């Protein structure tokens, strides 16, 4: 190609459109001024420094990490088993089950949030981190199932049969063959589901009660123009964390599919 | 005779719901033989192999290995090992650990494991490749690792599921000889499943032919080729011209027959055939036919026809000759001795055959 | 070559059976392994639905809930012009978002699937921004589009405009723009997958049979990607109708959607029965529009010859 075609130009513009908001946030987080507009007044790390001293923020961070961790573990373990069942076995109701576990992806957030709030209250569970965890597990499950499904898809059944043929029992086979081969998929699923929970807002907004997660905390700060620079700094850190986690997850996912070529 | 039966299949049957994968299969395998189960895809040969391995339990019948009933014995406890069609090389382990995998289930000392792995790899000519990663192997090397991994267990029977189907033609032919030599030097019984008749014939002591879940004939490659028990078997193994024939007289093991074209002949009855009748089917291998411009002398049957097609294969030439009274042309194959193609489409030629080359294939289902 | 049945049952091997507590058949094992996920999602979908229906038939008196069954909420919701207005606007905005996102994304999917040299790199580049918090991205758009925001200050700075643009923020436009950005990968990926599946020889065949580039695209490529387009549309349209964050942050009063009203019922207004009713009505409208869309889209796809 001697000259970039129209399609390439379009792709580049589109990419710029996609990255515009995620790059502007970090850019203005270093701006030595409280108004988010050009020209940039000067550079400072002050806004980041101030974050360290805010106890409610740190508590929200701890809440988010905790909820994210528990949701990731719960979603990934359910996803692991379900994906294995979907890939390896044929059973009655399989298609219905596979469709059902993907449902959380397409239900509008407000409906999930309001209906879970109503359900949990009726069951006597007050809005709390536990409620958020249950909700986030629900939202993260489709991600876990699809990641684990592709991990098992690439997994040749005869590998387990070979282990078995060479004298391993069920537990041995799982420990020495199945687990090491799908391990990258599990790691990838844990990271992705953690990120889903860590970034989720609407459900946490409805269900967290007086224990805000980080996005709920940010929501409460958005209203105060004076807090804007701090929010930008915090948001930038979150963006960075999410992207890093996802790049690592992607690395593991690639490894899981490459290893069984 | 000191031959013992290492594997006895006694009337085994496998059904998946209503589908019968294997029906009433009885077979004795001798110690130290190379046995192949040959058949088209879907004929049940792999299911039969997996029942020996213990991956599937027969719905009916018994599997005996070395005289012991295998019912309820899981695959990891059976004295058999398998080379999988996909080779199933553990991707997370290197070559050495792949081969050592099974030995580590047995509580064998580390030094002995190392020695046996080394021996096994040398046996398959991969000596020194212990540290090679599973993903750095070529197709042929993967096949060898799979062989070494199974053989290092010193199984009583080695089971091979289409072990060469993933390799290209040249490598496949080379591996056929290597595996045959390996089997002969180890003296272990090999049971191989294949859909490739040439593979089965070049490697095996005996071949069992399966169609639609049934075992239809078990014989040496030579017998299978010379005396196939039915038209089905004859058409699956090698090429064959089929002719309808009428039995005019029967004396002991000899039939007097008359066929369209070649006329009257006396042929030997085929002991492998189950049913005869007044109308039988006979077969003639293309390479057993003489083709000449003038009527050849000294043949028991001759017929004149017109060359329809000529196919040049390199090592031989196939002529398809249309004969009056036969729906299908007769194929005759001539070795390419002199780099010449002697007949062209439209030429009038004579075909000649000896009665000994006319194979009795039993009752002709098409005409009777 | 392979005469095994479709799946490879291991039921004959007793140890497997025993270890899974006597579950011999693969059917039982499949059911048992998938049960936790199925039951979890099934419960959290079905149970709230039942309770939402119950709530929607109750009424809110000042502090407590009156549990006599009545259709009053439905009557109120269906006759209230505000509800109808927000519902219709939500659906129209979601439709506009879907259309805009898919139209903008199709060329990119096409580029990556059929033209780009480094497909995985492009796919990664496209998905990375979306792993950051949705809330933060919407918030960033608010900052970009504001009266004194990034866009206006930049345009003023380079002298393209003399007064700040006012149509950027707090209207339907900003909502559609923000959501078209938010859903980009959800449109690109399904379309990419369906493009990727097209056998190149089909395009060559079309070419060979006399189709030009445009014909080739309209009669072969496009129809074959309709399943991808439908998937993209649904995965965008359905959640968008119930989106809360974007209308709250960048919608202003002209951009409010049904989710904002629902949130108010569960929050400040403290009228859960009405909130439940609105949720159910929103769900039904979404389902109705989605089914209508799938039917007409597949019908349209079949008509291409």
Structure tokens at C100: 């805009």
Tell me, yes or no, whether A214 and A118 share the same domain.
yes
- Are C266 and A206 a contacting pair at CB < 8 A? yes
Taking CB atoms and an 8 Å cutoff, what residues of chain B touch A166?
A: 76, 81, 101-102, 105, 149-150, 153
Tell me, yes or no, whether A74 and A6 share the same domain.
no
Q: Is the pLDDT of residue B187 over 60?
A: yes
Nearest Cα to Cα of residue B164 among B152, B150, B178: B178
Q: Are A43 and A31 in contact (CB under 8 A)?
A: yes
pLDDT band at B76 (very low <50, low <70, confident <90, very high): confident
- Are B81 and A165 a contacting pair at CB < 8 A? yes
- Are B54 and C1 a contacting pair at CB < 8 A? no
- Cα→Cα distances C42→A99, A100, B295, C36, Å: 11, 7, 84, 10
Closest approach of A75 to chain B, Cα-based (Å): 26
Taking CB atoms and an 8 Å cutoff, what residues of chain B touch A162?
A: 82, 84, 88, 90, 149
Query: Domain B239-363 falls in which CATH fold?
Result: OB fold (Dihydrolipoamide Acetyltransferase, E2P) (2.40.50)
Closest approach of A162 to chain B, Cα-based (Å): 7
**Higher model confidence: residue C154 or residue A70?**
A70
Tell me, yes or no, whether A176 and A94 share the same domain.
yes
Q: Which of B55, B106, B135 sits opposite A161 (nearest CB)?
A: B55
Taking CB atoms and an 8 Å cutoff, what residues of chain C touch A12?
A: none
User: Could you say which residues of chain C have pLDDT below 50?
Assistant: 1-23
Chain C from 11 to 50: CB within 8 A of any B CB: 11-16
- Are B55 and C10 a contacting pair at CB < 8 A? yes
Tell me, yes or no, whether A5 and A88 share the same domain.
no
Number of A:C CB contacts under 8 A?
A: 257
Q: Which of A165, A176, A259 sits opposite B82 (nearest CB)?
A: A165
Residue C2 has a pLDDT of 40
Q: Give the whole-angstrom CA distance, residue C291 versus residue C277.
A: 21
- Are A89 and C15 a contacting pair at CB < 8 A? no
Residue B36 has a pLDDT of 96
Q: Give the whole-angstrom CA distance, residue A180 versus residue B91.
A: 9
Q: Can you tell me the ipTM of this complex?
A: 0.84
Q: What residue segments make up the domains of chain B, in order of their start?
A: 30-47+72-231, 239-363
Closest approach of B106 to chain A, Cα-based (Å): 8
Tell me if A102 is assigned to some domain.
yes
Closest approach of A70 to chain B, Cα-based (Å): 29
Q: Which of B84, B85, B105 sits opposite A167 (nearest CB)?
A: B105
Tell me, yes or no, whether A150 and A220 share the same domain.
yes
Closest approach of A59 to chain C, Cα-based (Å): 19
Q: Which of A156, A161, A168 sits opposite B105 (nearest CB)?
A: A168
Tell me if A49 is assigned to some domain.
no
Residue A260 has a pLDDT of 41
Instruction: For residues A16-34, give the mean pLDDT.
Output: 85
Q: Which residue of A has its CA nearest to B90?
A: A159
**Higher model confidence: residue B116 or residue A153?**
B116
Tell me, yes or no, whether A23 and A64 share the same domain.
no
Domains of chain C: 1-57 (no CATH), 77-303 (1.10.3720.10)
Q: Which of B41, B43, B74 sits opposite C15 (nearest CB)?
A: B74
Tell me, yes or no, whether A144 and A216 share the same domain.
yes
Q: Which residue of C has its CA nearest to B39?
A: C1
pLDDT in tens, A182-217: 888 898 899 889 988 998 999 999 999 889 999 999
HEC string of chain A? Answer: CCCCCHHHHHHHHHHHHHHHHHHHHHHHHCECCCCCCCCCCCECCHHHHHHCCCHHHHHHHHHHHHHHHHHHHHHHHHHHHHHHHHHHCCCCCHHHHHHHHHHHHCCCHHHHHHHHHHHHHHCCCCCCHHHHHHHHHHHHHHHHHHHHHHHHHCCCHHHHHHHHHCCCCHHHHHHHHHHHHHHHHHHHHHHHHHHHHHHCCHHHHHHCCCCCCHHHHHHHHHCCHHHHHHHHHHHHHHHHHHHHHHHHHHHHHHHHHHCCC
Nearest Cα to Cα of residue A37 among A24, A47, A50, A46: A24
Closest approach of C302 to chain A, Cα-based (Å): 25
pLDDT band at B287 (very low <50, low <70, confident <90, very high): very high
Among A109-123, A239-253, B21-35, C264-278, the range with the most confident prediction by mean pLDDT is B21-35
Note the pTM of the prediction, 2 decimals.
0.78
With 0-12 CB in 10 A as exposed, 13-18 as middle and 19+ as buried, what is B118?
Answer: middle
Taking CB atoms and an 8 Å cutoff, what residues of chain B touch A177?
A: 90, 92
Residue C118 has a pLDDT of 87
Taking CB atoms and an 8 Å cutoff, what residues of chain A touch C125?
A: 15
Q: Which residue of C has its CA nearest to B85?
A: C2
The 3-state DSSP class for residue B281 equals strand
Instruction: For residues B41-63, give the mean pLDDT.
Output: 92
Q: Is B76 on the interface with C (CB under 8 A)?
A: yes
Closest approach of C171 to chain A, Cα-based (Å): 19
Q: Give the whole-angstrom CA distance, residue B43 versus residue B214.
A: 8
The yes-or-no answer to whether B30-47+72-231 and B239-363 have a common fold is: no
Tell me, yes or no, whether A196 and A143 share the same domain.
yes
Residue A174: which CATH number? 1.10.3720.10
**Higher model confidence: residue A105 or residue B33?**
B33
Tell me if A71 is assigned to some domain.
yes
Chains near A with 3+ CB pairs less than 8 A apart are: B, C
Tell me, yes or no, whether A60 and A161 share the same domain.
yes
Residue C4 has a pLDDT of 40
Taking CB atoms and an 8 Å cutoff, what residues of chain B touch C16?
A: 74
Provide the domain limits for residue A176.
54-258
- Are B54 and C3 a contacting pair at CB < 8 A? no
Q: What is the total count of domains within chain A?
A: 2
Q: Which of B19, B46, B56 sits opposite C12 (nearest CB)?
A: B56
Lowest mean pLDDT among A103-107, B223-227, C12-16, C259-263: C12-16
Q: Which residue of B has its CA nearest to A259?
A: B91
- Are A24 and C263 a contacting pair at CB < 8 A? no
Tell me, yes or no, whether A66 and A177 share the same domain.
yes
Closest approach of A128 to chain C, Cα-based (Å): 16
Taking CB atoms and an 8 Å cutoff, what residues of chain A touch B54?
A: 165
pLDDT band at A4 (very low <50, low <70, confident <90, very high): low
DSSP string over C61-129: -SSSEE-S--SHHHHHHHH-HHHHHHHHHHHHHHHHHHHHHHHHHHHHHHIIIII-S-HHHHHHHHHGG
Tell me, yes or no, whether A121 and A89 share the same domain.
yes
Closest approach of B167 to chain C, Cα-based (Å): 14
pLDDT band at A3 (very low <50, low <70, confident <90, very high): low
Tell me, yes or no, whether A19 and A103 share the same domain.
no
> So what's the architecture of B30-47+72-231 in CATH?
3-Layer(aba) Sandwich (3.40)
Q: Give the whole-angstrom CA distance, residue A77 versus residue A46.
A: 42
Q: Which of B42, B56, B58 sits opposite C3 (nearest CB)?
A: B42
Q: Is the pLDDT of residue A251 over 90?
A: no
- Are C1 and B41 a contacting pair at CB < 8 A? yes
- Are B88 and A162 a contacting pair at CB < 8 A? yes
């Amino acid at each position: 190609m001697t000259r970039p075609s129209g399609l390439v130009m379009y792709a580049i513009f589109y990419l710029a459109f996609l990255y515009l908001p995620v790059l502007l946030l970090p850019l203005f987080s270093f701006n030595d001024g409280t108004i988010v507009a050009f020209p940039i007044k000067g550079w400072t790390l002050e806004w980041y420094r101030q974050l360290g001293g805010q106890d409610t923020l740190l508590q929200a961070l701890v809440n988010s990490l905790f909820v994210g961790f528990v949701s990731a573990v719960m979603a990934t373990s359910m996803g692991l088993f379900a994906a294995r069942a979907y890939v390896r076995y044929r059973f009655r109701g399989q298609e219905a089950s596979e469709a059902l576990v993907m449902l959380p992806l397409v239900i509008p957030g407000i409906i999930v949030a309001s209906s879970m709030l109503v359900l949990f209250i009726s069951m006597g569970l007050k809005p709390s981190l536990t409620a958020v965890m249950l909700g986030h597990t629900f939202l993260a499950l489709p991600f876990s199932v699809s990641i684990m499904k592709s991990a098992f898809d690439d997994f040749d059944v005869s590998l387990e049969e070979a282990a078995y043929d060479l004298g391993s029992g069920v537990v041995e086979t799982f420990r020495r063959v199945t687990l090491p081969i799908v391990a990258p998929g599990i790691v990838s699923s844990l990271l992705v589901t953690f990120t889903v929970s860590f970034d989720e807002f609407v459900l946490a907004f409805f269900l967290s009660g007086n224990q805000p997660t980080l996005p709920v905390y940010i929501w409460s700060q958005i209203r105060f123009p004076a807090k804007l620079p701090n929010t930008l700094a915090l948001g930038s850190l979150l963006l960075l964390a999410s992207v890093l986690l996802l790049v690592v997850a992607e690395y593991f996912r690639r490894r899981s599919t490459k290893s069984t070529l | 005779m000191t031959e013992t039966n290492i594997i006895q299949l006694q009337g085994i049957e496998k059904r998946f719901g209503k589908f019968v994968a294997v029906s009433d299969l009885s077979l004795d395998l001798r110690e130290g033989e190379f046995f192949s189960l040959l058949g088209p895809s879907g004929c049940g040969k792999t299911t039969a192999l997996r029942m020996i391995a213990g991956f599937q339990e027969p719905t009916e019948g018994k599997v005996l290995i070395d005289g012991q009933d295998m019912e309820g014995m899981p695959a990891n406890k059976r004295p058999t090992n398998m080379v999988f069609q996909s080779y199933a090389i553990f991707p997370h382990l290197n070559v050495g650990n792949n081969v050592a995998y099974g030995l580590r289930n047995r509580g064998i000392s580390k030094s002995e494991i190392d020695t046996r792995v080394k021996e096994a790899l040398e046996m398959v000519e991969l000596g020194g490749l212990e540290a090679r990663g599973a993903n750095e192997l070529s197709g042929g090397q993967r096949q060898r690792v799979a062989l070494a991994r199974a053989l290092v267990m010193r199984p009583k029977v080695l089971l091979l599921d289409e072990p060469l189907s993933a390799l290209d033609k040249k490598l496949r032919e080379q591996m056929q000889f290597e595996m045959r030599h390996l089997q002969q030097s180890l003296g272990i019984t090999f049971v191989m499943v294949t859909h490739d008749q040439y593979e089965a014939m070049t490697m095996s002591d005996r071949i069992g032919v399966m169609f639609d879940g049934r075992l239809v004939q078990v014989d040496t490659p030579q017998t299978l080729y010379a005396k196939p028990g039915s038209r089905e078997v004859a058409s699956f193994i090698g090429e064959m011209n089929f002719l309808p024939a009428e039995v005019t007289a029967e004396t002991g093991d000899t039939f007097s027959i008359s066929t369209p074209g070649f006329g009257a002949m006396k042929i030997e009855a085929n002991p492998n055939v189950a049913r005869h009748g007044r109308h039988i089917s006979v077969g003639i291998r293309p390479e057993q036919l003489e083709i000449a411009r003038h009527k050849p002398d000294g043949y028991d049957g001759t017929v004149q026809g017109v060359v329809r097609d000529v196919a040049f294969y390199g090592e031989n030439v196939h002529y398809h000759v249309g004969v009056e009274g036969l729906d299908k042309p007769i194929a005759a194959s001539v070795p390419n001795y002199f780099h010449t193609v002697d007949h062209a489409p439209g030429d009038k030629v004579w075909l000649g055959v000896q009665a000994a080359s006319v194979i009795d294939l039993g009752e002709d289902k098409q005409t009777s | 070559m392979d005469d095994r049945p479709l799946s490879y049952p291991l039921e004959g091997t007793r140890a497997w059976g025993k270890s899974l507590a006597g579950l011999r058949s693969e059917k039982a094992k499949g059911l048992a392994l998938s049960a936790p996920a199925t039951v979890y999602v099934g419960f959290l979908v079905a149970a709230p639905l039942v309770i939402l229906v119950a709530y929607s038939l109750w009424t809110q008196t000042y502090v407590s809930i009156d549990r006599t069954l009545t259709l009053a909420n439905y009557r109120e919701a269906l006759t209230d012009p505000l509800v109808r207005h927000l519902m219709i606007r939500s659906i129209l905005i979601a439709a506009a978002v879907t259309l805009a996102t898919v139209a903008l994304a199709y060329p990119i999917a096409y580029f990556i699937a059929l033209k780009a040299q480094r497909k995985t790199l492009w796919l990664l580049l496209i998905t990375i921004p979306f792993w950051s918090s949705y809330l933060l991205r919407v918030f960033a758009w608010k900052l970009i589009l504001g009266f004194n925001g990034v866009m206006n200050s930049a345009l003023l700075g380079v002298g393209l405009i003399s007064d700040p643009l006012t149509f950027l923020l707090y209207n339907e436009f900003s909502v559609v723009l923000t959501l078209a950005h938010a859903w980009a990968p959800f449109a690109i990926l399904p379309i990419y997958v369906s493009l990727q599946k097209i056998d190149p020889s089909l395009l060559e065949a079309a070419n060979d049979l006399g189709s030009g580039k445009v014909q080739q695209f309209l009669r072969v490529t496009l129809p074959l990607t309709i399943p991808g387009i439908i998937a993209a549309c649904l995965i965008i349209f359905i959640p968008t109708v119930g989106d809360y964050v974007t209308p709250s942050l960048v919608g202003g009063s002209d951009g409010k959607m049904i989710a904002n009203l629902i949130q108010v019922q569960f929050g400040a207004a403290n009228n859960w029965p009405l909130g439940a009713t609105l949720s159910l009505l929103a769900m039904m409208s979404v389902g109705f529009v989605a089914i209508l869309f799938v039917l007409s889209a597949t019908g349209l796809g079949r008509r291409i010859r």
